[in-house]
Amino acid sequence: MLYEIGDKVLDEWVITRTIGEGSYGKVVEIERNEFGLSMKSALKIISIPGNNSELRAVMGEGIDNKSITSYFYGFVEEIIKEIAIMSELKGHTNIVTYEDHRVIPHEDHIGWDILIRMELLTSLLDYSEEHEITEQTVIKLGTDILTALEVCQKYHVVHRDIKPENIFVSATGDFKLGDFGIARTIEKTTFGMSKKGTYPYMAPEIYQGKESDILVDMYSLGLVMYRMLNDNRLPFFPEYPKKVTYVDRENALYRRIQGETFPKPRHGSKEFGNIVMKSCQYQKEDRYGSILQMKEGIFRWSSIWTVQCRIQWTADQAGGEIIL
């Protein structure tokens, strides 16, 4: 099935628009009308294998059909495990809500379509194009995703793939963490490594093949926050508005993974910039040692910043300086 606009899926849901596409498949908006009420969701559509080229590549290895079926079905099982994690985390404010899924075998050849219905949200990248990203926005983003990581920690889940593409914003302005390992599993079907595509936000210890824990997620979150305070540019990228080339990206990654000290983000206060910088230090022992520590650092500065703003506002209203 091609899953085009107007097609019915999951019984009575209708595809209304395409949100995004990638090598794995696509994400669409779906709508259902019941008793005069319109309900909307996002639907992630994943095809395993992703295309005929992947299937032919495995066949070219001289593997028989039964073994090929077993090989690709293994990836389906991995994705179902990731969906089970999403289901366990359901109901938490700062985690994307899983709602339903279905696995549909291909009728005419080896393969499956996996449909995952989730709450309809705005991606962080789309949100940042339509809204001004202030220091307060980044503070809210940081604390919300740290809250999501606290939930993950309770369930012994390390996300390992925090990046702007996996952060979403609700209609009420809450930031939410999504995509718990599904993208990495899909990438493996093309013989890629599980860390493929995540290099720009990857903690050095993952890149080096070392054991990972929740600190790698805090490091990646720090890089996302850095980017939001730095004209949408990661460390060592050319300053905005200069164009970023492939060589620039590779050079920036190399310098970061080698442990070179970051330049400070171009925007935001010095104090909050220090918090962001500490969260993505090269050595683990130089970072925050826990989610709580990083949260406390953000809350402490946020409270000071709020008081300062109130004092300044009062002074402005009074037409002069307020002396405490």
Catalytic annotation, residues: 161
Start-to-end Cα distance in the chain: 69
Cα-based angle 145, 148, 149 (whole degrees, multiple of 5): 90
**CB of 95 within 8 A of CB of 54?**
no
- Residue 143's Cβ-count burial label (10 Å; 0-12, 13-18, 19+) is middle
Q: What is the DSSP string of 36-100?
A: TEEEEEEEEEEEESSSHHHHHHHHTTT--HHHHHHHHHHHHHHHHHHHHHHHHTTT-TTBPPEEE
Is beta strand 25-34 parallel, antiparallel or unpaired with respect to 37-48? Answer: antiparallel
Buried b (16+ CB within 10 A) or exposed e, 255-292: ebeeeeebebbeebeeebbebbbebbbbebeebbeebe
Of 98, 113, 229, 96, nearest to 165 (Cα)?
96
Greatest CA span in the chain, whole angstroms? 82
> Could you please report the per-residue DSSP string of 182-206?
HHHHHHHTTT--TTTT-GGG--HHH
Handedness of CA 262, 263, 268, 271 (dihedral sign): positive
CA angle 86-90-14, nearest 5°? 80
Residues paired with residue 42 on neighbouring β-strands, in sequence order: 29, 118
Question: Helix, strand, coil % (nearest 5) of the chain?
Answer: 45, 20, 40
